[in-house]
Structure 1
Amino acid sequence: MAVLPPPPRLAEIGAAVDELHALPGADRLRWAGRDDWHLTLAFLGEVAEPVLPDLHDRLARAAHRTPPFALRLHGGGRFGDKVLWAGVAGGTDALRLLAERSDAAARRAGVPMEEHRRYHPHLTLARSRSGADLHPYVDALAGFEGTAWQTDELALVRSRLPVSGVPGEAPRYEVVGRWGLGE
């Protein structure tokens, strides 16, 4: 489940990421595809086909109970030496609540979920397999301030894992459901 920032907001962070590509070692990072940028709310893993109708109903209710809220992409950070991300500011409490409601909806629909972790809103920009020093990239993103947007929908996003065997190929994401917030 995810929130999808609008294309103009993704273009803003895209311009900042373009500048990151000029930093030493950028070619050793596996950059996330821009068409796939999203704010993950909860990761579902494999979902059995018979569970989908109930999951869709429950996600619709979770979205209905959550009013629209403002977000913006802001700064950057890292998870250890493996993941570089853009941060999120604005209605992060509302975003966390939507993440909790989405997680609960999936659990109640019978989707086996990973152990519950504290939600940390972010947009993944790049990954490193070699444990690259991500500090210069985080420092370069420190002053990034995106324009706010009104978050008004919850999306169910399916991950299509690579099947070609090409090294470095990334998963592709497909939106398979959308529900308006507060509707």
Structure 2
Amino acid sequence: MPRLFTGIEIPRDIGFALSLKRGGLHGARWIEPNDYHITLRFIGDVDAPTANDIVDNLERLSKTVRFDLRLTQIDSFGGDKPRALYAAVEPSDGLNRLQAAHERVIQQAGIAPEGRKFVPHVTLARLRGASSDDVARFLSEAPVFEPLRFTPTQFVLYSSRDSVGGGPYVVEESFPLSAQT
């Protein structure tokens, strides 16, 4: 059974720029730049017929119009028990519409609704044993984050192996976004 999720790949140049933020934080397990992405919908472990239904449903979304995305800052999830560093994605109507469409078609394939609110981001590191003080110091001492912009040309269906997270991820299917407005 593959473990699946949908997302937007991060272009190589943006991934390289994000990779320069790596290092200097005890307890950080840094994600490889090739595995940077914005998750649209976690699906989980599914059987082959369900995976095929999901692919068929996602193909209907490939006419979605392209939109711009902007990464604005580095932050952390977890508060007093930090668990991840991430690059925040500026709110985007286009991204929100695409994510809502993913939610609908994945539920049509029989997958339960996502229980968490959609918070678009690019995970840069998983944290284990990093204190909130260490993370706050890392963030405060980091160079100024210059926003990074890109226009996704496709979304993808990823699979991952059963692990502690952070890849490697495999692109199972790609779905182009329309250049027409």
* TM-score where L is the length of structure 2: 0.83
Residues 124-166 of structure 1 show CA distances to partners (whole Å, capped at 9, x for unaligned) of 111222252222233345731243211121110111124xxxx
Deviates most, 26-35 or 128-137: 128-137
Q: 1:178 corresponds to which residue?
A: 174
The reply to whether residue 3 of structure 1 matches residue 8 of structure 2 is yes
Aligned partners of 2:152, 2:130: CA distance in 1, in Å? 34
- Assess if the C-alpha contact under 8 Å between 1:59 and 1:105 holds in 2: yes
Q: 1:111 corresponds to which residue?
A: 111
Aligned partners of 2:140, 2:96: CA distance in 1, in Å? 26
Aligned partners of 1:179, 1:84: CA distance in 2, in Å? 28
Residues 75-102 of structure 1 show CA distances to partners (whole Å, capped at 9, x for unaligned) of 111111111111112x622112111111
Evaluate the alpha carbon distance shift between residue 97 and residue 49 of structure 1 in structure 2; reply closer, same or farther with a 3 A threshold: same
Does the residue aligned with 2:44 lie in a helix, a strand or coil? coil
Residues 9-58 of structure 1 show CA distances to partners (whole Å, capped at 9, x for unaligned) of 1111112x13xx13xxx232121222211111111111210112221121
Higher strand share: 2
Aligned partners of 1:112, 1:179: CA distance in 2, in Å? 23
Letter in 1 for 2:55: H
Higher helix share: 1
Evaluate the alpha carbon distance shift between residue 105 and residue 74 of structure 1 in structure 2; reply closer, same or farther with a 3 A threshold: same
Q: 2:146 corresponds to which residue?
A: 145
Letter in 2 for 1:119: F
CA RMSD of aligned residues (A): 2.2
Letter in 2 for 1:180: P
Aligned partners of 1:4, 1:35: CA distance in 2, in Å? 9
Evaluate the alpha carbon distance shift between residue 61 and residue 179 of structure 1 in structure 2; reply closer, same or farther with a 3 A threshold: same
Q: 1:123 corresponds to which residue?
A: 122
Shift of 1:63: 3.0
Does the residue aligned with 2:144 lie in a helix, a strand or coil? coil
Query: How many residues in Structure 1 have an aligned counterpart in Structure 2?
Result: 169
Letter in 1 for 2:83: K
Deviates most, 138-147 or 91-100: 138-147
Shift of 1:108: 0.4
Q: 1:165 corresponds to which residue?
A: none
Does the residue aligned with 1:148 lie in a helix, a strand or coil? strand
> In percent, how many aligned pairs have the same letter?
28
Q: 2:93 corresponds to which residue?
A: 93
Aligned partners of 2:96, 2:141: CA distance in 1, in Å? 26
- Assess if the C-alpha contact under 8 Å between 2:15 and 2:34 holds in 1: no
Does the residue aligned with 2:89 lie in a helix, a strand or coil? strand
